[in-house]
Amino acid sequence: MYRSVFTCVLLCLTVSILSVTAVGEDVADVENELEALRQIIAEKGYSFTVGRTPLTGLSKEQLAQRTGFIPPSKEEWGSLPRFVPGALSYPGADISDPVFDWRTLGNVTGVRNQGACGSCWAFAAIAQLEGHIAIYDNMMMDLSEQHIIDCNEDEKNCDGGNAYAAYKLLLSFGSVTEDCIPYTQSDEGECGQAFCTSVAVIADYPDVEDFNVTAIKTALLSGPVYTAIRTSALFNSYIEGCFDYNDTNNYPDHAVLIVGWDDTACDEGGAWIVKNSWGEGWGEDGFMHIKYGVSYIGMYVSQILYSPFVSLTSPNGGQTIYGDTEYRIQWSNPGIEPDSVSLAYSIGGAAGPFDNPIVSGLTGVETYLWTVPEITSESVMVRVTAWLDGDIRAYDLSDEVFEIAAFSNTASSYPNPFQEKISILYEVDSPGRVKITIFDVRGGVVKVVEEIDRDTGNYVAEWDGTEADGAPANPGVYFYLLDAPGTTRSEKIILLR
């Protein structure tokens, strides 16, 4: 009899506490509220703890201001492309890894607090972009959520919205810094983006299959992903552990950012690692471990496609170049044009220091002809730095170290045999015309790789294994003929495929 009464009372408490209404309306005292939640956790065998958070005891109206997710229309949701893994993903990880966390890699910005404004949708989208900037631009930036609220064309505001309103603005105009448009917890301001510099843009915002753990993990390897979720009294007072309460009686009402996974959590059932927008006083310093699939986590998932602000394409590592020769450094600026670009190199690998300047103040170009210094080192890397509004906006390094060796005509071509590209070293004793021609074994001309006037000095020409029309040459034996003032040289080279 006693057990039946207790069960009935607990069931009534469960219905009351876990409803969308605030517990504070039913249990005036916060400690009584928390004790009731702890009883539910004990009875149901949940794997997390609750305690006092900034949301504990708030009214229904106050809680509504701390969420704000509104689902997109079926037409908009159905029109989005499906995420397809691209070239940009973390190279040292795989979806089979038991744990992956962008925080441990230093690519998640600090936890923010949306306060009394239903702007979770803007906070999650901006946190997502900040994470991609940290990953691909090597910069931690504080971008403006208020800009999204004030300037989105869908008129989403503190009454709620979704990522697509944010994404469309990030695609068309881009994002601005927090300093330019600070957060006000209000939607009554005018759009001030005309007075700000756009510092980052996205290329697209494909969706990811709902609740598909493999698909979401795959998208996560490219950067943090946006998702909807359902909050509850248990969620609002979450402190730590595996959040495994599954509220399926209501629809998603909040947006958060997934920054990793942990297959070992939740008794090996697996959990998403989530960044919230309720400040560090909630959860695990603002984060949460939530079991795969519960309370709508993994629904309305979106990834953004972000192109690095600046990307070094050559030298990208593994090659040998020679001192006192010219080498063309190349990079790309696929989005916003930087104010200027500077180049430097290190002989200590990625650890640097990059205290050997090559050039600074470059504008409107994506290439520079570098006179390689007469040094010898096997651990050289180049860094390209892009500047915007007087500050460093982004930088990129060679993916791997490369070698600078002493120039010698005895090492006239490298690598030989080769698969993708061969470098031909030569020295000009007196100014004049230089021509380098590739021949096949029958003496037929395959390609003229260099025909140019040169001053005295050391130079390197390259053949990429293609014929004059750009078609790949067949693997086999070839010869190059160097014709320069005072010098004629021929050498056998071998192309492999």
Task: Report all structural domains of the chain as residue ranges with CATH numbers, in order of start.
Answer: 2-60 (no CATH), 62-302 (3.90.70.10), 311-405 (2.60.40.10), 413-495 (2.60.40.4070)
435-476 pLDDT, tens digit per residue, is: 999 999 988 999 999 999 999 888 889 999 999 999 999 999
At 16 the pLDDT is 44
Query: Could you tell me the pTM of the whole model?
Result: 0.81
At 250 the pLDDT is 86
The residue written with tokens 């600074």 in the block is: 360
At 52 the pLDDT is 96
Q: Which residues of the chain have pLDDT under 50?
A: 1-17, 19-27
385-413 pLDDT, tens digit per residue, is: 999 999 999 999 999 999 998 876 555 78
At 77 the pLDDT is 77
Active-site residue, from 120, 180, 196, 266: 120
Q: Could you confirm whether 276 is annotated as catalytic?
A: yes
At 322 the pLDDT is 86
At 28 the pLDDT is 56
Active-site residue, from 107, 276, 333, 458: 276
At 410 the pLDDT is 52
Active-site residue, from 254, 266, 333, 458: 254
